[in-house]
Amino acid sequence: MTSPLSSSPAWKALLAHRDALAGATAADHWQASPERGAAFTFPCAGLVVDFSKQPVAPETLALLCALARERQVPESIEKLFTGEPVNVTEGRPALHMALRGDEHAKVDGVDIRVEIQREREHFRAFVEAVRDGRWKGATGKAISAVVAIGIGGSASGPQLVLRALAPDHEGPQVRFAANIDPAELDQALAGLDPATTLLVVVSKTFTTEETMANALAARAWLEAALGPAALAHHVVAATSRPDRAIAWGLPECNVFGFAEWIGGRFSLWSSAGMPIALGLGMAAFDHLLAGAHAADLEFRSTPLERNVPALMALIGLWNRDALGAPHHVMLPYAARLEGLVLYLQQLEMESNGKRVTTTGEPLDRPTVPAIWGAPGTTGQHSFHQWLHQGTEAFACDFIVVAKAMGSDPDRHARLLAHALAQSEAFMDGLDVPDAHKACPGGRATTTIVLPSLDAMHLGALIALYEHKVYAQACLWGINAFDQFGVELGKTLAGRILPAVRGENAALTPATHHLLGIIHKLAQSD
Ligand SMILES: O=P(O)(O)OC[C@H]1O[C@](O)(CO)[C@@H](O)[C@@H]1O
For the stretch 351-404, pLDDT in tens is 999 999 999 999 988 999 999 999 999 999 999 999 999 999 999 999 999 999
Q: What does the alpha-carbon distance between residue 280 and residue 63 come to, in Å, rounded to a whole number?
A: 44
Would the pTM count as exceeding 0.90? yes
Atom of ligand 1 lying closest to residue 210 CA: 4
Q: What does the alpha-carbon distance between residue 366 and residue 519 come to, in Å, rounded to a whole number?
A: 40
Q: What is the pLDDT of residue 3?
A: 80
Return the residue whose CA atom lies nearest to atom 14 of ligand 1: 264
Residues near ligand 1 with C-beta < 6 Å?
A: 151-154, 203-205, 208, 211, 264-265, 350, 483, 486
**Could you report the predicted ipTM of this complex, rounded to two decimals?**
0.98
Q: Are residues 457 and 381 in the same domain?
A: yes
Q: What does the alpha-carbon distance between residue 302 and residue 471 come to, in Å, rounded to a whole number?
A: 13
Q: Is 76 strand, coil or helix?
A: helix
Instruction: Provide the phi-psi class of 471: left if phi over 0, else alpha when psi is between -120 and 50, else beta.
Output: alpha
Omega prior to 25 cis, within 30 of 0: no
Return the residue whose CA atom lies nearest to atom 11 of ligand 1: 486
453 alpha carbon to ligand 1 midpoint, in Å?
Answer: 28
Classify residue 78: in a domain, yes or no: no
Q: Flag residues of the chain having pLDDT under 70.
A: 1, 104
Q: What is the pLDDT of residue 167?
A: 92
Instruction: List residues with catalytic annotation.
Output: 350, 381, 490
Number of residues written out for the chain:
525
Q: Are residues 451 and 497 in the same domain?
A: no
Q: Are residues 26 and 128 in the same domain?
A: no
213 alpha carbon to ligand 1 midpoint, in Å?
Answer: 14
Q: What is the pLDDT of residue 459?
A: 98
Q: Are residues 345 and 201 in the same domain?
A: no
165 alpha carbon to ligand 1 midpoint, in Å?
Answer: 24
Q: Are residues 56 and 166 in the same domain?
A: no
Q: Are residues 470 and 412 in the same domain?
A: yes
Q: Are residues 127 and 217 in the same domain?
A: yes
Q: What does the alpha-carbon distance between residue 334 and residue 453 come to, in Å, rounded to a whole number?
A: 9
Is the distance from CB of 262 to CB of 240 less than 8 angstroms? yes
Looking at residue 344, which CATH number applies to its domain? 3.40.50.10490
Return the residue whose CA atom lies nearest to atom 4 of ligand 1: 203
Domain count, the chain: 3
Classify residue 426: in a domain, yes or no: yes
Q: What is the pLDDT of residue 1?
A: 54
Q: What is the pLDDT of residue 405?
A: 85
Return the residue whose CA atom lies nearest to atom 9 of ligand 1: 152
Q: Are residues 121 and 257 in the same domain?
A: yes
Last residue of a domain, one of 253, 285, 317: 285
Q: What is the DSSP letter of 269?
A: T
Q: What does the alpha-carbon distance between residue 29 and residue 52 come to, in Å, rounded to a whole number?
A: 9
Out of 483, 487, 488, give the residue to mutate to test ligand 1, the one with the largest number of ligand atoms within 8 Å of its CB: 483
Classify residue 75: in a domain, yes or no: no
Q: Is 216 strand, coil or helix?
A: helix
Helices (H) and strands (E) in the chain, counts: 21, 13
Structural domain range at position 117? 108-285
Atom of ligand 1 lying closest to residue 267 CA: 16
Q: What is the pLDDT of residue 5?
A: 87
Q: Are residues 425 and 507 in the same domain?
A: no
Q: What is the pLDDT of residue 355?
A: 96
